[in-house]
Structure 1
């Protein structure tokens, strides 16, 4: 669907407001006594009120982790999120693949400087000369991916596409993020070990770390709560409900993403990496600080499945996140400071990607208070019975059968002064009439109220049975008059 901007377009996120489901301390205390954790506790409650849905774990030097949960893992069944709910953690999966490669190096099965032609024969020279290090640090020159997020392909099809790939330039020392490179690493793990990718990481990584609810198909998900993913007002089901093969996700995401896990399992993984049972000290140094060093972007460097970032607090954070449009995951490890932050969410919401950094600010900048970053959006069955709802109804009536006089009266009564100053009355009438010609009368299918000042309408245009979307922004300083309008419809040309 193409987007047409009337005056100014907007991007709108969506979240359904739901109450807190849990507050947990590992030692059983329900209310942390540490003032920093008290600040975090109150802050997260505010984000919960702003529509955050998921589980958050914060560990500070004060003691046991604080775990907070909000929203629903399954709205239809009324199952709330809790510390053991399973989420799709997206590209955080890459750190497991990186650790698996280093484990194989510890076992004498490979070295990260090996060219992959040693393990996948018959490759063209430019592909065969790629090394494990280059795949791990996104410097192989491979594309972003070998297929779309929703395309389901087997390992054999992945290899076929890989063999036909043309690298535009020879591998360099510059990072160029690639799911494809990690998909190939997953294939290499299977070729070298003779084991399924998941079976290897379960035996050599997850089991020693005490991670019981992490994997693709190996865990018994029947005995776990696997969160549904929500975007806007739609339930997209469990991660494995679409885009998966019998043994796990499509190979467009296998070993690069799609892993399922919990906040408590990820914390167990963090603790395991502090010891030497899974990776020895030499391997962990290579895990976080591979040589030659590779700059990622900004002030970050590429580890093997991690980003190593010089933080604004003049400390180092080892981190990665994952996102697929519904689920969001963030994993921040300030190892020297004994601070760990894990954010897992199953509902798209503007601001989820900023939550972990605000939690870090709560710790490093105490008593400075963190900022609420989430945008609250409520899904409605009908237009609200207030000023916003009334103006929206007036707008839709205008599109259905408004005359020139109706448009001018609407502009005078219901359009904010900022828009009137920017455009002449005649220009506004022309734009609204143009929108009327495009949409006409509509049937409203879905309503989303955002920050109590933005309404998004998913509609069906009755004249052509085509779907469209409209967004109205209301100015609270002018009695909620309409300040901006955007329209997304089926046509290809823009208008103003």
Structure 2
């Protein structure tokens, strides 16, 4: 469908759109499809261009509950890890200008960087094959330039450079330091002048925190339970924990325009454009990291070669996904400001149709029925845990506590198997037992604040936002604290949240007593819950689990 639409159309009053979200700059069929996803929970913006012409610029849902403002294609979002594509473009431009070689060792370019990390090459850092893992600090941790270098110098390589891959925020912070050192100006100034600036002088976006800031109305972000995310003014910096790996912000329209300029060669030239889209290091399942910071998908995956990138999440509440289809000269950008149905989930549900040029799928409405208030309560699986059902605004939400309950409610799906989840749990427990240097540092930080850790208990592993997360309870002087950790195959901490609440799902009725996860994209847990006879039966791919209602 996207390949044959004839550009923007006038608003069609016959379309069934959510109140206040009519989008006259969007083809009617596209607007109707995205409107259906909006009714299922998507809140954000869409930009679709083919051959440089926008056929859809649209917004859905509320940008800010406090003001009632609506999302539009000109609402500003934090783009999170999509910032890596801009950092990589800056490096490729510096290589084109002869300021560096992709095969230079990073210690040569930034002499203050020493130790094992210094031996990695620029190419390896771009491709996440340097052996550098993790991050140098939390997103809202004040880190100055000297602190960033000191943190990088303390890193140890997870593997010899060039022999494996490990996704690394710290690596892209290192690339920002290289830009800051060799460009003759600051990282931010070079990014604004040589990467954000389009031919003709227009500047696409800016920085989420600090200056130069993105201009335009900023979307408020909302987290899992509707809590407000962090705003650009919430953090005074310095910002080196996210520089290079997640610090940019812009509108959906701007991001689509920038992506096309990159891949068409008008932004940085034909060679950077080629390197940004060509497979650089294979990571399995027909996917490869590119030197431009993107992920390239072979034709075997979706029928045509495509390039994509996504980012966001964390404590901001924004999520952004970008798709480039070279064969059609087409860019699709989705941005979201609520976790109910993120841009990345929506892209995962629609990408086969987008690539094939077919009409977009739309979510199926729940069957209805059920009495949410009647199922509220605690259901026990003693001794393996419990389920807790609460009702918020007539919507039931179930949380799982304990390994047995988590395993039942969140069975593996997609490319992760039950064995993968078990191995991840083992790695997390080993890290928290202090068997790695990073793990020992993590323990020391927790104990400095809460006292000695006397026990670490695994509470099950889930797949969320494309990564495995193992829940653990850490018993300290201040009492038990629930958190989750995500580690890669090299036992490097890729993400963590401590403290946190138990993993939970919002449910929708599919009968009088039966419920399913509120998951219109079909990418979440494949389970059905039947509340009858004073118990809940959770049915999934591996069988059924029964929990008796208590009280």
Larger-Rg structure: 1
In the alignment, what sits opposite 1:335? Answer: 326
Indicate whether 1:298 and 2:285 are aligned: yes
In the alignment, what sits opposite 1:489? Answer: none
Q: List gaps (5 residues or longer) in structure 2.
A: 1-16, 401-478, 482-499, 515-530, 539-546
Q: Say if 1:328 and 1:352, in contact at 8 Å, map to a contact too.
A: yes
Q: Say if 2:84 and 2:246, in contact at 8 Å, map to a contact too.
A: yes
Measure, in 2, the Cα distance between the counterparts of 1:118 and 1:373: 56
Compared CA separation, residues 124 and 322, structure 1 to 2 (3 A):
same
Q: Deviations over 1:54-104 (max 9, x none)?
A: 001123469532122111111111111111100011111001001101111
Compared CA separation, residues 182 and 485, structure 1 to 2 (3 A):
farther
Which one is further off, 315-324 or 91-100? 315-324
In the alignment, what sits opposite 2:465? Answer: none
What RMSD, in angstroms, separates the aligned Cα atoms of the two structures? 3.8
Q: Deviations over 1:293-329 (max 9, x none)?
A: 3113421111121111125332111111002242111
More strand by share: 2
Give how far 1:174 is off. 2.4
1:110 to 93, 97, 100: 100
Give how far 1:252 is off. 2.1
In the alignment, what sits opposite 2:476? Answer: none
The number of equivalent residue pairs is 401
Which one is further off, 167-176 or 466-475? 466-475
TM-score by length of 1: 0.70
Q: Say if 1:350 and 1:374, in contact at 8 Å, map to a contact too.
A: no
Give how far 1:105 is off. 1.3
Indicate whether 1:309 and 2:297 are aligned: yes
Give how far 1:255 is off. 0.7
Correspondence list, 1:32-181, <5 A:
32=28, 38=29, 40-60=30-50, 64-121=54-111, 123-124=113-114, 126-181=116-171
Measure, in 2, the Cα distance between the counterparts of 1:55 and 1:301: 28
Compared CA separation, residues 106 and 53, structure 1 to 2 (3 A):
same
Which structure would you say has the larger RCO, counting Cα contacts within 8 Å and 6 or more residues apart?
Answer: 1
Measure, in 2, the Cα distance between the counterparts of 1:238 and 1:86: 14
Compared CA separation, residues 324 and 271, structure 1 to 2 (3 A):
same
Measure, in 2, the Cα distance between the counterparts of 1:102 and 1:332: 21
Measure, in 1, the Cα distance between the counterparts of 2:163 and 2:228: 39
TM-score by length of 2: 0.64
More helix by share: 1
Measure, in 1, the Cα distance between the counterparts of 2:113 and 2:396: 57
Give how far 1:356 is off. 1.9
Name the SS of the counterpart of 2:23 in structure 1: strand
Give how far 1:19 is off. 4.8
Q: Say if 1:448 and 1:456, in contact at 8 Å, map to a contact too.
A: no
Measure, in 2, the Cα distance between the counterparts of 1:163 and 1:239: 31
Q: List gaps (5 residues or longer) in structure 1.
A: 1-16, 33-37, 376-384, 400-414, 416-426, 458-463, 487-494
1:448 to 375, 380, 392: 392
In the alignment, what sits opposite 1:191? Answer: 181
Q: Deviations over 1:450-474 (max 9, x none)?
A: 9x554569xxxxxx9x997787968
Compared CA separation, residues 241 and 220, structure 1 to 2 (3 A):
closer
In the alignment, what sits opposite 1:23? Answer: 23
